[in-house]
Amino acid sequence: MRRTASPLSLALLGAGTFLLVLAPLLFAHVLPQAKRTPLDIDTTTVFTGTGSYFDTARLKTVDDRRITITRQVRGDVSEGLRSGNAVWDVSTSVDNDATLPAADVRDSLQWTLERWVTDRETNEPVHCCEESPVFDGEAYLKFPFDVEERGYRWWDGTLGGVVQLRHDGRRSIQGHEGLRFTGTVEPTRTGVRQVPGRLVGKPRTPQVLAEEWYSNSGIELVVDRRTGRILYAAIGPRKTLRAPGSDKDAVVLLESDRIAFTEPTQRRQVELAAADSRKLALLAGPVPVGAGALGALLAVAGVVLLVRGRRGEREPAVLTR
């Protein structure tokens, strides 16, 4: 009799070969696809702090009031699929207790709507798809994947320009360690606004084009290293008006020593970063390595069984006289 290959040996050899092919594909193709900015993002982050703002009803600056900044980010999936980029619509509102919650964001103290377009792999800005405003830098609503311990150019929308952040060690947020980056903005003219002259010390002039000035006493961002997600953010903004050509602030529009992520926002950001970071870590090492090792083991076992199965017994000799 002659033995034939068993179904088990073929199954083991097939499974082993599949895993051996799959292992490098996971690392070379699946991992890079996982390291891409999502198209379908839908998140809300909330900052709170105490400070001053200009009360338009009372026509004066009021102090020691709670200030809330709410930022909603939604991905334009259809435009993202068409262009191949991450297209995010960003709504940012600044409120006090009287305007929060607002039935209409346009009732807030300040409201902006922007469209940010970035390369899904590099996080670099892409100037297309009705981007507004035109921006620059390396880091914005998130940092690139695999954040490095170096300075980064961060886009400040209020400034309308790039701020050079420096790497400043590490910090744990809700038990999750991230890289810490800090920076400041010196007083900078950012535009003009038509206001009654008396607001800026020009009582004899009905209307003037007052200068808008902005500074930031302290920017702090804590970022998940693997995903680039911002775990914690804090700013110290100061927005003022000056009379044309003056070097002194006449009106404080908004000021706070620190407005930072709320505790719920921190927890949510950490949860998302931890989940995505675990997936990337598995794809970067244990999964492809494990698949390769298991594939090799199964393939060897299949070959051994296959060789044994094909090793036939000798036919009995035919006796003749």
- pLDDT tens-place string over residues 301-321: 555 655 666 554 444 545 444
Task: Kindly report the average pLDDT of the chain as a whole number.
Answer: 84
| Top-confidence residue, 41 or 102 | 41
- Spell 155-169 as b/e; 16+ CB within 10 A means b: bbebbebbbebebbe
User: In this predicted model, what pLDDT tens digit does every residue of 155-198 receive, in sequence order?
Assistant: 999 999 999 999 999 999 999 999 999 999 999 999 999 999 99
For residue 78, name the pLDDT band (cuts at 50, 70, 90).
Answer: very high
pLDDT at position 110 is: 87
Q: Where are the domains of the chain?
A: 28-283
pLDDT at position 301 is: 58
**Does residue 282 register a pLDDT over 80?**
no
- The backbone region for 279, taken as left when phi is positive above 0, alpha when psi lies in -120 to 50, beta otherwise, is alpha
**Does residue 32 register a pLDDT over 60?**
no
pLDDT at position 319 is: 47
**Does residue 239 register a pLDDT over 90?**
yes
Distance CA 87, CA 41 (A): 10
For residue 62, name the pLDDT band (cuts at 50, 70, 90).
Answer: very high
Over range 46-70, report the average pLDDT.
Answer: 93
Confidence (pTM)? 0.81
HEC secondary structure over the chain: CCCCCCHHHHHHHHHHHHHHHHHHHHHHHHHHHHCCCCCCCEEEEEEEEEEEEEECCCCEEEEEEEEEEEEEEEECHHHHHHHCCEEEEEEEEEECCCCCCCCCHHHCCEEEEEEEEECCCCCCECCCCCCECCCCCCECCCCCCCCCCCCEEEEECCCCEEEEEEEEEEEEECCEEEEEEEEEEEEEEEEEEEEEHHHHCCCCCCEEEEEEEEEEEEEEEEECCCCCCEEEEEECEEEEEECCCCCCCCEEEEEEEEEEECHHHHHHHHHHHHHHHHHHHHHHCHHHHHHHHHHHHHHHHHHHHHHHHHCCCCCCCCCCC
Q: What percentage of the chain exceeds 70 in pLDDT? A: 75
Over range 254-265, report the average pLDDT.
Answer: 97
For residue 289, what are its two tokens? 């390595």
Distance CA 180, CA 168 (A): 5
pLDDT at position 278 is: 81
User: In this predicted model, what pLDDT tens digit does every residue of 84-134 receive, in sequence order?
Assistant: 999 999 999 999 988 886 666 767 888 899 999 999 999 999 999 999 999
Cβ-contact 108, 98 below 8 angstroms: no
Q: What percentage of the chain exceeds 90 in pLDDT? A: 65
pLDDT at position 16 is: 52
pLDDT at position 315 is: 47
